[in-house]
A and B are shown apart, each in its own frame.
Chain A
C-alpha cells in the first residue's frame, strides 16, 4: 500500500493542461500536444530536481518546514534567478476551484487598496533575537519549570486516571519521564507510581500559593493564579488543590464569606485554564463546590448590598465551561447539571437567589438550552416577577432578587429570540407570547437586532491585515539593564495559555493581567566537594553565570534574586517577570532525592523557609519545587 503510494508520488508529472494554461498566460496561443507533453515532462523533472536541492537547504537550515527561501537558494544553485516576491509568508493558502470538468488550484491574490496600507498603523517591529538559559536537567532529572515540557503529559495523566492498574512496561514511559539512574531500568512497575507525596519544595509551593490565593494582597493573588494557570508541574498537587477548594467552599458558604468564595472560584478557573492538567479525576470535588456557588440560598452576609450575583454569574460560566470540556456520554455531566438546575427552578418555594443561580447556570449552557428550557417558562416566570414587583412590598430582598432575575432573563433570552422570531417585532405579540416580560423583551430584541446588523456590516468591510512575522506571544522583560534598544528581547509565553486567557470569562473582580514569573532552581550538583551552580540573574540579561561553590561555604546560598527594579513604574498592563534562583543547601539535598518515598521532614526546609519568607513581601507566592 504505502509502497504503491510512494511510487505514485514519484512518477507524477504535471498535466499538459497546465502547460497550455501557462503558455497562454505568456501569450503563446496554439501549443501542440507533443510540445506540451515534452514540456511537462521536462518541467516536472526540473521541479523535482529543484525540490530535492531545496530540501538540502532545509536540512542545513535546521528546519522541518520547507520555505520559499529554500527554493530560491536551490534555484541559485542551478544558476537560475530566484523568484522574487514570495518571501514573507510562512504558509501560502492554495484555493481549489472546479467547474466545467476542470479542477484548479490557485493562489488567491486580493487586490489591495493602497490607502488602506498607508492608513493602517505600522505593525510592531519584530523582536530582536535574544538568548535565554534554563536548566534542562539537574543531575539527570528534569526540573518542572515552564521552560520544560510538562513532566507528565496530559495523555498520560488521563491514562493513569482511566486505567489506574494498567501494567506499565519498561520503556513505555521512556519519553518525558526518565528518572533513569540505570539501575531501576527494566523493572516492571505494576502500579503507576504513587502520586500523592509532595517534596518539601512542593509543600512550600502549595502553602504559598494557597495562602496567596485567599490572602488579602490582590497582586499576590494574581501572581499565584497565574502560576496555577500556567505551571506545568502541578499534576502532583492537584488532589490537594481540589480538596482545598471543596473544603473552602463548604466552610465559607456557611460563614457567608463572599470574598473567599470568589477567590476559590478563581482558583478553579485557573486550574481549568492550565493546559497541562487533566482534571477529570477531581470533578467530583470541584463540581459540587462550583454548583454551590451558583445556587446557594445565601452567599454573603448582607444579601441586599453585596454583589453575590456576580459570583453566581462567574460560577455559572465556570460550570458551563467544565460541561463543555468534560461532559462525555459516560459521565453525563451536562444533563445531570441541567436536571438539577431545572428541578430547583421549577420548585415554587425556591428563593429568588437560587432561582437566579439556576437560570444563570442554564443560560450559560448555550442557546439551545435557553430555547428548550427557559423560553417556555418565560410567561410563568414573568407572572412571578410581576407579583413581586407590583404586588405589596413584602421584603426588599425579594424585590432585588426579582429585579435581577428579570434583567438576567432579558439579557440571555433577547439574543436567542432575535434569532428565532421573524423580523417584525410587535409589542402586543410579545405580550401575548411572553406575558409580563413581553414588552421589555421586545425592546431588547430590537436592540439585539440592530447590534447584530451593525456587527455584520463591520465584518463585511474588507479588512487588510498586514501580516506580522508572527503573532508575538511575547512579554517584554522588564529588568534588563544595559539594553540599548527601545525594547528588550524577552521571553516567550506559552501560546496555549494565552489563547485560553482570551476566552476566559471575566472574573468578578478586576483581573489585572497577572505577572509572569519564572523560577529557576538549582540544587547542588554532585556529591563532589564542589558544586556547579549556574546563577540566572536578571541583571546580566539571561546569561547564566557559572560559578563554583564550595559546599563548605554554601550552607545556604543567597539566592533569591528578584527582578532588578524595573517593575516599579509598571502598570498592570505591563507584565513583569522575575527570576528567583534558589539554591538548596547540600545537606538537604540528600533528603530531597526525587525517589525518596517518605515525606521529608520539614526540618531541612526550615532555614529555607525563613529565607523565603523574607522575600515574601516582594514576591508573593514564591514557589519552590523539586526537580522531580
Chain B
C-alpha cells in the first residue's frame, strides 16, 4: 500500500488524502462520496451529494474507520492531518475506537448504512451463521458476504422469482421496461445467496432456469457467475465482491416503483423485498417512465446506472487560456525574441487561430487551479510551430475527408501492443509483447543520443550550436530500442515536449525514458499488477496510469510515489486519458463504466454508463466539451461532459475499438478497430444538438439511431488491426497497427 503522506506535492497544498488505503480490495464509490465533503473544504467544489440528515452520522462513521485504520498502521501524521481537517476533537477517535476495531474496515465496505453499533451487531449476528468457517484473515469479505447468511427456504427462490416475473410481465407496458431492470440484479443476488448458503444444486437449477431471460449484454458476467458454484469460490473473486459491496443502481419512475412496492407487500414477498432494500439502490424520479430504448442505452455496466447526483458536480471543461505568444509573421529567426509568453500553458488550445479568443472561457478552470510547469523556450518555439502549422490546416468536413496514412508494423508477429505518436508527428513509438519499446523517427531527422559525459566536457559551452554539438552523430539511426521492462508493454505515451517517453507494462511498473539519451530514468512502482495504460498530461509533468489493481494513479515525473489515487472502479482500469486542460482525468474500465476524476481533489465527478463491454478507447474533443469512448462491443458512445449525458451512439464496427481521435478542429471523429477498419464520423453533426433543461435535469436521453448518416467513410486495411490514430497538426490522419498475416 503506497504510503500517503509522502506523495503530496508541495504545490498542491490541499492536503487532500484521497489515497484510499484499502483501495485494492474494496474501494467503492460510496466511500468516495462519503468522504468528499470533509476532505476538500478549500477547493470550492461541491461534490453534489445532498445527503439526508442521516448522512452526517454516516460520514462521521466512515471517517472514524479511516482514522482507526491509519492509526493502526502508524500513519500518525496522516491521522493528524485528517483529524484536523475534519474538525474532529482529539478524543473522538479513542472514544469510538473500541467499536471500530472489531469491524476493522467495516465502515466503508458495508456502505455505512446506520451507525457503527448496528453495523457491529449485524456482523456479529451473521457470523453465528455458517460464515464463521470462513478464514478470519479477510474480515471485510466476511462482512460483505454475511449479509447473505440469514435467508429463507431455498426451494422458494424459484417461486419468488417467477412470481415477480409474472407480475412484471403483466403490468402496463409503460412500466414493464422499467421494472424489468430489477431482474438482473435480483437474479444475481438470489443466485449468490443460494451459493453462499451451500445450496449448490438449487443454485444451479435456479441459474439454468432464469439465466436465459437476462439481457444479452450481461452475458460475460453470467459466465463468471455460473462458474461460481461454491462458497469458497466467492472469496477470491473480487469482481463479485464488488458487486456486493456497491449497490446496484436502478433508475425507476415513482409510479413504477410504487407498483413494485405494492406488489411485493401484498404478496408478503419479503425475500425479494429484502434484497431490493439491501443490495439495490433505487433512484426514484418523478415523471414519465422511461422507454425500453432509453433504459438499454444507459444500462450495461457492472453496477447499474450512475446515480443522478453522481453527475451533478460542476466540471470545468473549458480550455485554459492560451499563453500570449506573438506570432511572428514570416521570418522564422525572429520568433524566439518576439514572444512574450506568459508562463502558463503549452498547448491546451487546438482551436483555430481565428477563434482564439482573448477572454476567459466561463467554463474553464482558473489558470492556477492545478499548478502547471512553466513554459520553456523550446516549448514556446514548439507552440509557434504549432500555430504556423495550424494556419495551413485543412478544414475537414463531410465533403472534405482527411487523407489517411497508415503505418504498418511489419514482422511484429502479433506482438505490437501499444503505439503512440508525438503531437508534431515526428516520432512514433511502439510497445511490444517482448517487453521492448521501440522508437522510430518518421522524418528524415535521425535519432541521436547525447554524447557521453567525458565527451560533453570537451564541448565549448558558449557556442551557438551547443545543442547540436552535444548530440553524438555516430549513434544516428532511424529507430532505437529501449530495454528495461520485464513484461509486455501495454501503454505508451510521449511527453508533449518530446523529451520523455512513458511506458507501462505487465510487470507492474511505469518507466520514464529519456529521448535524449535513450535510457530509462525512473521506474514508478506502485501498481504491483499489470498497468494497462498510461498517459502524459497535455502540459507535461503529470501523468496518469491505471491497471489491473483498479486504481488510477496520478503521478508527477519528479515524484516516485503517486500524488493522487483514484479508486472506485469495480474492475480493471483499461484506459486513461487527460482532459485537454489537465484538470481532469478520465478512466475507462472493464466494469463498463467511464469515470471522470478531478485532479485537484481526487473526486469522481462523472460516471458514464452505457457500454456493454470493457472500454478500450477514450478521446476528448479538442475543445474539452465532449468525450468519445469505444469498447469491445464495437460501439462508440459520445458524452457531453458538462451535462453528464450521453449524446450519441455510433454503431458500425464489428470488433473492439482500440483507438479514437478527434480532428484538430473537432469536425471529424476517427475510430480504429480490431476489425481492420478505420471509420470516419461526422462529429460536428453528432454534437450539433441542443440539450434542453428537462433532459439535463432528469438525465433522460433520446438517442436517435443515425449512425449511418454520421458515418463518412470506412477504410479497410489488409489484415492490420488499427490500434492508434493521430491527426497531424494539419489534419492528416495517421493510423498505425501491426500487420497480421
Contacts and interface: CB of A to CB of B under 8 A. Distances in A.
Q: Do A and B bind each other?
A: yes
Interface of A: 3, 6-7, 10-11, 41-42, 44-45, 48-49, 52, 56-57, 59-65, 67, 69, 73, 76-77, 126-140, 142, 147-149, 171, 174-176, 178, 180-183, 185, 469-470, 473-474, 482, 484, 489-492, 495, 525-526, 528, 530, 532, 534, 540-541, 543-546, 548
A149 B716 contact: yes
B407 A132 contact: yes
B233 interface: yes
Contacts of A183: 399
B714 A175 contact: yes
Contact of A132 (B229, B410, B709, B711): B410
Contacts of A132: 407-408, 410
Interface string B232-264: 110011000000000000000000000000000
B406 A135 contact: yes
Nearest to A6: B219
B219 A130 contact: no
B405 A133 contact: yes
A482 B478 contact: yes
Contacts of A65: 414
Given A129-B430, A136-B717, A140-B403, 14 more contacts: A3-B212, A10-B223, A11-B227, A45-B228, A59-B614, A65-B414, A67-B414, A73-B530, A135-B404, A137-B678, A142-B716, A185-B709, A543-B441, A543-B444
A139 B716 contact: no
Interface stretch (B1-9, B119-127, B132-140, B733-741): B733-741
B401 interface: yes
A490 B506 CA distance: 29
B732 interface: yes
Contacts of A63: 414
15 contacts: A10-B226, A11-B226, A44-B227, A62-B417, A129-B415, A130-B410, A131-B442, A137-B713, A137-B715, A140-B400, A149-B717, A178-B715, A474-B411, A530-B394, A543-B442
**Top 6 A-B pairs ranked by shortest CB distance?**
A140-B401, A136-B404, A137-B404, A136-B406, A182-B398, A10-B226
Contacts of B223: 10, 52
B154 interface: no
A182 to B, nearest CB: 4
Interface in B21-52: none
B438 interface: yes
Nearest to A484: B477
Given A45-B233, A61-B488, A135-B406, A7 B738 contact: no
Contacts of A48: 227
A131 B413 contact: no
Contacts of B395: 528
Given A62-B417, A543-B478, A525 B394 contact: yes
Contacts of B404: 135-137
Contacts of A56: 548, 572, 590
B616 interface: yes
Given A60-B417, A137-B713, A541-B478, A41 B403 contact: no
Contacts of A44: 227
B524 interface: no
A64 to B, nearest CB: 7
Nearest to B737: A62
A90 to B, nearest CB: 8
A147 B532 CA distance: 31
B715 A136 contact: yes
Contacts of B402: 137, 140
B732 A532 contact: yes
B408 A131 contact: yes
B188 interface: no
Nearest to A3: B212
B166 interface: no
A73 B487 contact: yes
Given A135-B406, A148-B717, A545 B444 contact: yes
Contacts of B417: 60-62
B403 A77 contact: no
Interface in B193-216: 204, 207-208, 211-212
A131 B440 contact: yes
Nearest to B406: A136
Contacts of B229: 41, 45
B632 A59 contact: yes
Given A10-B227, A147-B718, A149-B718, A73 B407 contact: no
Contacts of A137: 401-404, 678, 713, 715, 733
Nearest to B392: A530
B409 A131 contact: yes
Contacts of A45: 227-230, 233
Contact of B212 (A7, A41, A180, A491): A7
A421 to B, nearest CB: 46
Contacts of A492: 410-411, 739, 741
A484 to B, nearest CB: 7
A541 B442 CA distance: 9
Contacts of A7: 208, 211-212, 226
Contacts of A180: 711-713
Nearest to A537: B444
Contacts of B478: 482, 540-541, 543
B416 A62 contact: yes
A579 B554 CA distance: 46
B405 A136 contact: yes
A33 to B, nearest CB: 17
B270 interface: no
B721 A62 contact: yes
A490 B411 CA distance: 8
B184 interface: no
B590 A134 contact: no
B723 interface: yes
Contacts of A140: 400-403, 712-713
A131 B428 contact: yes
Nearest to B652: A174
B409 A64 contact: no
Contacts of B572: 56
B714 A174 contact: yes
B410 A490 contact: yes
A544 B442 contact: yes
A139 B403 contact: yes
Nearest to B204: A11
Nearest to B219: A6
B714 A135 contact: no
A10 B207 CA distance: 11
A10 B225 CA distance: 9
A543 B736 CA distance: 13
Contacts of B212: 3, 7
B442 A130 contact: no
Nearest to A138: B403
A536 to B, nearest CB: 9
Interface string B472-507: 000001110000000110100000000000000010
A114 B487 CA distance: 32
A171 B438 CA distance: 40
B619 to A, nearest CB: 17
Given A59-B614, A62-B416, A492-B739, A178 B713 contact: yes
Nearest to A139: B403
A105 B603 CA distance: 53
Contacts of B738: 62
A134 B408 contact: yes
A541 B656 CA distance: 32
A134 B428 CA distance: 15
Contacts of A131: 407-410, 428, 440, 442, 479
Contacts of B232: 42
Contacts of B470: none
B433 interface: yes
Interface in B372-417: 392, 394-395, 398-417
A148 B401 contact: no
B100 interface: no
